[in-house]
Amino acid sequence: MGRIESVINEVRGLTHETPFFYTSRDILEENFFSFCGLFAHCEVYYAVKANSEPSILSFLDRLGCGFEAASGYEISILQSVGVAADKIIYGTSVKPIAHIREAFALGIDRFAADSKEEIEKIAEAAPGSRVFVRAVVDDSGSVFTMSERFGAPPSSVKHLVLHIQRLGLVPYGISFYVGSQATDGSKWAKGVYTIKPVIEELADEGVRLETVNIGGGFPALYENHPEAPRIGEIVEFTRDALASLPYSARVIMEPGRAIVATSTVLVSQVISRSDRAGSPWLCLDAGIYNALYEAMVHQGATRYRIHALDAPEHEIETESFTLAGPTGDSLDVIARNARLPSCTGTGDRLAFENAGAYTIAMASRFNGFPPPQLYLD
């Protein structure tokens, strides 16, 4: 029996009120340790934005994981579960100066920047801190791209690193992000090759960087992304690229989705079944607003593999359903052409695989429907 089949069997017997998320400690631990030791001198910092549930953060902290925070609010959550300041990187390159100042007061001294203005804010609010410059790299082909909004052109990175030094800050490294849910296993290697000339030029001027931060973007295998690159393929390309650098730097990785996605299933109940234009629809007590934002049909995004938990053991006949959430909004459509047992109806429960990332973290209370409770077991 595979690990996800084991989790599905576990949730089948649970009596929690729906909807709810169920997270497997074993899978979460396995996913975290799968990143440890991939490269010589590598460090893993979980991207909190993927899922900031305190129980998950506390568990990863006990495993020895570091954390990449994108706001002072995420830092507050980390502090509330006892994460030490030296395990936190403030990794977004655009920050309110008040958040920088508060983070520094807590003992956090590693910050990202992608402009002179951001570096100057850090120098003012967090003097003497370690700063890495976020560079733009090719993120085409990723499901969610970031290069339009974040990152400095490679041609300006050297000047930004030298500006960091001039302002009494510590040039800590260069970071890049290949986008979220990347589809090309060579993208991280290409990112390293993009910043390689900058590292060489800085070395010629006597500036040696402590780290190379290859970010996140490591994909999960959703139903509509079955051919996403595996971690072994990514590492093979990236290791060769890192070996080409003029010296060996510590490698920082910031996986979010790849650690938490497959650890969690969402269990939701059918609240109504109806026929619309001759096709069967199932309305659930969880939808895109309170649980499955990335599944929004109009975005053409994530498709989750779905299990009918209450189907008869030997049910064979299936049909294609449209799944919708509980709100009064027409965009609240989770999936079309979801293949489920024909007998599925009101009161039956459905389980969505790989629902740990960007689900509860992006949930709202639209129409008053609360986000599901998360259980870690």
For 267-299, how does the pLDDT look when each residue is reduced to its tens digit (9 = 90+)?
Answer: 999 999 999 989 999 999 999 999 999 998 655
User: In the predicted model, is pLDDT for residue 81 greater than 80?
Assistant: yes
User: In the predicted model, is pLDDT for residue 58 greater than 80?
Assistant: yes
Q: What is the pLDDT of residue 120?
A: 98
Q: What is the pLDDT of residue 299?
A: 55
Residues belonging to the chain: 377
Q: What is the pLDDT of residue 157?
A: 96
User: In the predicted model, is pLDDT for residue 148 greater than 60?
Assistant: no
Question: What residues contact 138, with CB distance under 8 A and at least 6 apart?
Answer: 147, 178, 187, 190, 191, 194
Over range 219-246, report the average pLDDT. 88
Q: What is the pLDDT of residue 139?
A: 66
User: In the predicted model, is pLDDT for residue 241 greater than 80?
Assistant: yes
Over range 37-43, report the average pLDDT. 90
User: In the predicted model, is pLDDT for residue 20 greater than 70?
Assistant: yes
Over range 154-176, report the average pLDDT. 96
Positions of CATH 3.20.20.10 in the chain: 36-254
For 68-77, 87-96, 216-225, which range has the lowest pLDDT when averaged over its residues?
216-225
Q: What is the pLDDT of residue 145?
A: 58
User: In the predicted model, is pLDDT for residue 4 greater than 90?
Assistant: no
User: In the predicted model, is pLDDT for residue 82 greater than 90?
Assistant: yes
For 211-220, 308-317, 318-327, which range has the lowest pLDDT when averaged over its residues?
308-317
Report the distance separating Cα 220 and Cα 65, nearest Å: 19
CATH 3.20.20.10 fits 36-254, yes or no: yes
148: DSSP letter: T
Positions of CATH 2.40.37.10 in the chain: 262-376
CATH of the domain spanning 262-376:
2.40.37.10
